Structure 1
């Protein structure tokens, strides 16, 4: 299901994932998608088929709403033109959790008395809400909202008020959010995490209520503290009394603020604003880690390790560059595909795929372990940096994430001391060479590191090797400067044969010679310009134009210079013009009152200083509204069903029936592997009257859907039998294995989770002192992955002739060293 602004005419379509260009059906996108692509919106479709959208409902963007459509439940929305419900919101995200639908957004705070400020909010509605009766008709009766707090604690807390993005981990019921300062203040960003239980606790607490516009906002006890989604019984209003509806109409804002998991934000940074967030849960060697990916406002991605503990805080692992510095683009979305361990980044004209596991970048053990990356560890058998899944044996996989990595620091280079003077040779390029005294210095105090700049200045000095310069031969004479009359010619030479070097003498004499030419060739009659003409008329009456004047070449055609000249004119600004368009036709507005309705119409005006009124463009919008009663007493014109209003006389004529637009497709009968869905239409647009014909064609049609195969999740095979113990005494290991082939994952199904190998201790009793031991290890990996055949150790009593010498190494010790 896709929606687009479609040049300020929103449209939604149903498409098949395997062929996105094929459109199955098309419906209006109004109230499901904004008119303007710059409006922030969010939407989701529940498992039962209802579409929840938080967006702007009208062309001008002045009517934001949380709106439910499609599915089997009645359409509902937030109250219209009521700032206590929604006050110029910017919607960020939405989630379908249990019986509720949650919406996260930022808006102008109505409860803030001192100036205008923005607060971050979480809103909630019940999915089984069917609206009120008389009061709150077609409107949510369960909408509530609470403020989210993300701040830097202190005597005067520093607040990050504007929510920019969220990421929800359903297994942990944990929500990560990124918050920034206002765009007009100093740039700063923070990452805070919230438990779903803390959000639910705020919604159970008292409300914040204002009696009238001059009253203060005060806490008000919850009139229905035992509220649960389910107060509406089987679609009836038995539990929605008039008092319940009155309370739902005025108690919206919760008094208690939702506090984060810890008082200090997980990650903070100044001089940057984060725009999107994605979180991955990674299994390390000893514990689980949370990796936070943050999109910056200048087109890079910060990879951050969630706090290990309250003392260390978060660790910045790396900053991923997607583009060269001068070609960076704004990041518009982040998405993690956990089954493939890939991060997808959406920009204006492309999608970029980044692997989450980048262990191959670390070539040494120090770089691998020092990176503190939960994805990576050093495999001591393979001698390379691998993931946990790629390791041969977990006990041989080294990873240490007890502290943050040491960040590389950029260092610019600096020159060291000059060396002593020594003899050196040089060549002038002409085949001859000479000797000089030279000294050098190196850029090693310090050397440039991590992209630092090289040293500026000379690294070699030369002395006592001067060479005198000499002239090159004269060039040929240049052409004469005139074609008639007295002119001159030039020839030149340079002091470069050789050039003076290292203090040598320059050449003595002139490097240029001139001589007269054509002195005996008379010129034709003299040509000259006439006087300038008067300036021509300016090309525009106002606003700055151009005018020209001309002159002619007398007594020939070779006068030097131009025959036409230009200057600016009429530079005074043009008078202000105004233009107004005609009114548009009256159109209904989604506001009902006492059975009647409202209509509105638009027209546009524009003022500008331009010389030509035809160039004036339409700009500012003006709106008029009127009320139309149901009995027609207000004078609103209507086109009745089969009735035409002509000068007070009503005539009737036959009306042929017409089909309504096709309804929405029903839910597919199967989720995958081919199902059937249907849609209907009725002959009521209009109904046939006064002998008119009924509609032709079917009233219901069917379509195949969900043709893709069902995904198959991978499952582990049974564990193999435990292997024999690796030693008979002194502590050994059992081992057993399993494979992810029961069945194999297919068609996008999830891979198996967990380890494919288990080990257990055995024969831990100490060996007798009179025994010697020799061992061997199953270190050679066969393609089949089978265990080695035979015992991994042998023991035998020491023979009497073991030639033991006091103080020497025993045979048992030598056997262990060889092992």
Structure 2
């Protein structure tokens, strides 16, 4: 088998085979590579670096990339639908309104949807069954007595929101209480009260070497002016002293600024596949900061991307189950339709997407069950209750409508619904097929009655 060797040229990947054959491929563009892509918000995080080849970045399908600083974040995995967004707030606060949600297709490769496509859903909503109605105020009460017995104070009066009372959470505009000043025409004595202590006077030293035992005294003052005592009528003076002393203890040592030590070697690459990062660190220890000295300026860590060139494993995912096969008894030539005779049916699914030594899907690839064949069998029916209202259609546009329905549902035969299988295990028996129910006509219909209604107070269209 010929052995290739590779040479990189600008914009081309050139592969030389030992047989002399030469092939060229267009090289993917360089991008900004991120180690996380959020499927819900379609955003990237954890920048690994720029100037990384898109093909290398997407060796890990969980990664994302941008084609430039202003570009949208794109997923490395195959195109798929995001989760539905949260429902928007209801368009009105009372009675019936509408709310909308959306989802978007994202991914850089062909998948189950078209990249960039967006879908919307809209439904009716009601936060409360009635709208608020404001009430009216009662008459004001009489004024209260003055709040003080000397000098000036306040008096107040009140009213209640009961004339009439508000309905459904309504209120009364305005205040429920009024206040106004009142004068007693009496003079009050003013008792003295200390003001705040002033700042401590500075100690005679600013900084000292470690081990200094000097303890000079410092003092502070306060004044009896918060307020000062009155003279007519006489107020009480402040109690205690206006001067305070303390020893100067814990004087600061002279500060010593820190300085960086050398950078340590790069750590190993953080991943074994795709693109990761390497870390290089240094410490502020040559010397370390001391006694309030400044820390070293700058960062203590540097990050650099590393490309392994190895694709990451992709685990397999189950497809949806196929439809159940026809309920029948194979090999006996027996017709079991519309009879109390059990048959067998099966369904299958596939495990897709496994790549690069990823894990296979857990579980069975096929399953079978015991069944009764009631396909097209005529059964007695009964009308169901009204279903919930459907989503509003269209979700964006003029005159959206909602529907609900009642259906003629079949009443299934009273057959045994379990059977003893192998090793004495009890198995359930399932009805299979689409029977034909018979109900008395309802509003002129035999199988289904549909009711339509407009969606009210709908939201404006977006995008």
- State the TM-score, normalizing by the size of structure 2: 0.28
RCO higher in structure (CA 8 A, sep ≥6): 2
- State the TM-score, normalizing by the size of structure 1: 0.18
